[in-house]
Structure 1
Amino acid sequence: MSHTKELASDDFRQWLLRGELKKETEGMITAAQDQVLRTRYIQRMIGGNNISSICMNCNTKNKTINHIASECPALAENQYQKRHDSVAKALHWSLCKKHQLSCSDKRYEHQPEGVIQNDQAKTLWDYGIGTDRVLRAIRPDVKLIDKIKKKVSLIDVAIPWHPKVEEKEREKIDKYQDLKIETTRIWDIPVETVPIIIGTLSTILRSLKRKQGKLEAGVAPGIMQKIVGQIGSIFHKNLSLDDTSTKFGTNDVQDLLFKKRCASTGESPGRRTDRTESKWLG
């Protein structure tokens, strides 16, 4: 992660210090940060194994760490979208708590409604904003209308491959610039774009706290890093020792190999208790 040290804030290691992730997940993410996960690409190009390096989910690109983390089209609509929505929901819940809007008591149980409002504020979840002219982007993840301070925040979440966090932040600001201008003109109140960017391997920008400070409510960086830490399960599901990866997740493959070994040695299968995550490291 040396190439992203200048981007990381003092809270970068909070996901480790909080101790809320499973040991296997911490190990998997740390190994990914160090670029030592034994993906099919690494097994072929570095290990010299005679296997295809192509991702068996999408069959289009090499199965590298960054491909699994953020670039595989076969994972985009399910696993990547779930990860993105989990961060956005946590932010929406925090805003509802701040402005005393209707929401669940617990963050992880929160299911945002399209429109929630009271005398203090109004939130729009995944809701398009009507404009007088056609714009390419009118649907940020969350819109907050602060009725007391008379201002609007356009909040959009992104979880890019970690070296691209700064680029993605600029991209979000540019993406919603026209909507910001048009909304300011139509509603006649100040509008601000607030991009919330976290790298796939928990990289955060120094500006993240400042962005959340503008909302006067936010989720602790360590909590958002924990949510993004779901990538550990993405790695678990998409790394395997052989071609059974197209049919089984990591644990299923290990159990299958263990049962085969028991069948050949005559030992009782029982319950497999040995840890196997080290086999995924280079």
Structure 2
Amino acid sequence: MKSWTAPGLDKIHAYWLKKLTALHERLAAQMNQLLTSGDHPDTTWKLLSGIIAAEISRHMDQYMSRAQKGIGNNTRGAKHQLLVDRAIAQGCRMRHTNLCTARIDYKKAYDSKPIVQVSIRCGIYQGDALSPLLFCIGLNPLSQIITKSGYGYQFRSGTTVSHLLYMDDIKLYAKNERDINSLIHLTRIYSKDIGISFGLDKCGRMISRRGKVIATDGVELPEGNITDVQDSYKYLGIPQANGNHEEAARRSATAKYLQRLRQRLIRYPAGIIPWPLEEIQATDIKTRKLLTMHGGFHPKSSVLRLYTKQKERGQRLVSVRTTVQEETTSLQEYIKKMAPTDPLLSECLRQQKPTKEEEPEGLSWKDKPMHGMYHRQIEEVSDIEKTYPWLTKARLKDSTEALIMAAQEQALSTRAIVPGTRLETPPKVLENEQAKILWDFQIQTDKMVVANQPDIVVVDKHRKTVVVIDVAIPSDSNIRKKEHEKLEKYQGLKEEMERMRGMKATVVPVVIGTLGAVTPNLSRWLQQIPGTTPEISVQKSAVLGTAKILRRTLRLPGLW
């Protein structure tokens, strides 16, 4: 079970059940009692069925066919089958050999296995962890029958492959039409014996001689005909016709990606089909245009920063280029790792072309003359680690985050003064039995003090303390200077208030840069203010205020 998924009725996350090892013996005893106790919560059953499935899978590993990649550990599943299928297609084209394939699909595979002959007292739920495992066990003898038939496609190395299985998706391979028809009939007979039937509308056969697809009448079965595929079909989500239909697959994946901007739509076909650099770059450009249209990226912002990780002060978007490179590299490493024990993957390794070395990364966005100027200016005067938490903790809208980053990167014309702006005026005095708060209030003193009107004064009547707070939001490069200036400015007022009122006074400068930079001492100053004042909330207020001013002053569109 995943550690932090929603807990059951006990409200205890699985993380704690895993860590509290002293409870494991007792939990195991209670699990055994659940088998005969009748009704119990769904979450308990999921845990129990998962344990049973893991034990069955561990036992069946020695008996399951290696052609089945729908279950099991240390396998890439569908990607494994697609790699082998690509190797077969490429070998056929390079050697100009005959290849016959057939794709078999079942009608409602999981729901159609017969149970009339068996008296079921306890069943399993739909979508249960045991369901796919038991189905694969039911199909396992079919794999053994097909293997023993002796039919199949033979690689140059002598390795023969007759079929690939991914759950209920079956693909058959043979060297001629007679052999592929025999494999189809073998599959039909076994499937009928276990009570499942072909979905003929989704089945297909392809005959190619010396690398060229030829048209035939298909294969006739008692239930109907399996027609020959002339144009293309999909195998495990990848369009194919005498091998991978590469351009169609890329076009389909790109279109779906641009509709939803989900990296997994690119990641799945990546590594299976080649992806030209020009198409990758064009897709990344379209992605940035979509982000700009929806307020997530300013057109003049740094592209490098957009694709930089959040811990490195970036916007954490993963580019299509990075996705394709990472998945391709991952599959190549998988092939090298598994090839010594897998004859089919060793053939994939033999066909694998040497990859070009990736170009070393250029300058970081921080090194750019304009985009990196802000970061270089505040590096010496601010606490960098505390300057950027608003990226992760403030929960800003994408448009606000993009706007502040654009301002940091000097991408906006920010020098502007708008006359006639109204100022917010809270009440001057708030008081009760415990405290008094003064807002922008002129303090009367016996001795003349030049700076006697701080932003906020908090008087704690019980503790006999006075906190003089002055807030400033200067340019980010001036935060250290402004903090020191505030401390010196109100020293005279502090001394007079201590003398006149007999209370301990403290000057607290709250200085936040307009774009979120903070000084190393900010946390210490905020701790001296009565009440809870999280640093991130102060930083968020400053950043949101800057965004509001930028939108109003620059008359930015609604999305910004």
Aligned position for 2:433: 119
1:78 aligns with 2:384: no
Rate the CA distance shift 1:180–1:19 in 2: closer, same or farther, 3 A.
closer
Aligned position for 2:199: none
Q: 2-side partners of 1:9 and 1:125: how far apart?
A: 31
Deviation at 1:138, TM superposition (A): 1.1
Aligned position for 2:379: 5
Say which SS state the counterpart of residue 385 (structure 2) adopts: coil
Q: 2-side partners of 1:203 and 1:19: how far apart?
A: 14
Aligned position for 1:138: 452
- Select 2:464's aligned residue among 116, 140, 150: 150
Matches within 5 A, 1:201-240: 201-229=515-543, 230-239=545-554
Q: 2-side partners of 1:133 and 1:160: how far apart?
A: 30
Cα displacement string for residues 211-234 of structure 1 (whole angstroms, at most 9, x for unaligned residues): 011124342222122211221232
Q: 2-side partners of 1:205 and 1:179: how far apart?
A: 24
Displacement over 6 Å in runs of 4+:
none
Letter in 2 for 1:4: I
Q: 1-side partners of 2:376 and 2:479: how far apart?
A: 14
Aligned position for 2:407: 32
Say which SS state the counterpart of residue 11 (structure 1) adopts: helix
Say which SS state the counterpart of residue 507 (structure 2) adopts: strand
Say which SS state the counterpart of residue 444 (structure 2) adopts: coil
Q: 2-side partners of 1:19 and 1:193: how far apart?
A: 27
Conserved 8 A contact 1:128-1:138? yes
Aligned position for 1:49: none
Aligned position for 1:251: 557
Deviation at 1:160, TM superposition (A): 0.3
Matches within 5 A, 1:134-213: 134-213=448-527
Rate the CA distance shift 1:215–1:9 in 2: closer, same or farther, 3 A.
farther
| Higher relative contact order (Cα pairs below 8 Å, separated by 6+ residues) | 1
Deviation at 1:162, TM superposition (A): 0.5
Cα displacement string for residues 139-198 of structure 1 (whole angstroms, at most 9, x for unaligned residues): 111111112221111111010011000111111112111111111111122211111100
Q: 2-side partners of 1:215 and 1:236: how far apart?
A: 32
| Structure 2: unaligned runs, 5 residues or longer | 1-374
Say which SS state the counterpart of residue 470 (structure 2) adopts: strand
Rate the CA distance shift 1:19–1:185 in 2: closer, same or farther, 3 A.
closer
Q: 1-side partners of 2:526 and 2:538: how far apart?
A: 12
Letter in 2 for 1:32: A
Q: 2-side partners of 1:236 and 1:121: how far apart?
A: 38
TM-score by length of 2: 0.31
Aligned position for 2:395: 20
Q: 2-side partners of 1:225 and 1:197: how far apart?
A: 10
Conserved 8 A contact 2:394-2:537? no
Deviation at 1:199, TM superposition (A): 0.4
Aligned position for 1:59: none
Deviation at 1:134, TM superposition (A): 2.8
Letter in 2 for 1:231: T
Letter in 2 for 1:24: S
Rate the CA distance shift 1:189–1:19 in 2: closer, same or farther, 3 A.
closer
C-alpha RMSD of the superposition: 2.4
Conserved 8 A contact 2:516-2:542? yes
Q: 1-side partners of 2:411 and 2:557: how far apart?
A: 19
Aligned position for 2:346: none
Conserved 8 A contact 1:14-1:221? no
| Structure 1: unaligned runs, 5 residues or longer | 40-64, 86-111, 240-248, 253-274, 278-282
Say which SS state the counterpart of residue 215 (structure 1) adopts: coil
Deviation at 1:9, TM superposition (A): 5.4
Q: 2-side partners of 1:136 and 1:19: how far apart?
A: 38
Say which SS state the counterpart of residue 25 (structure 1) adopts: helix
Say which SS state the counterpart of residue 78 (structure 1) adopts: coil
Between Structure 1 and Structure 2, how many residues are aligned?
Answer: 184
Deviation at 1:19, TM superposition (A): 4.9
Say which SS state the counterpart of residue 193 (structure 1) adopts: strand
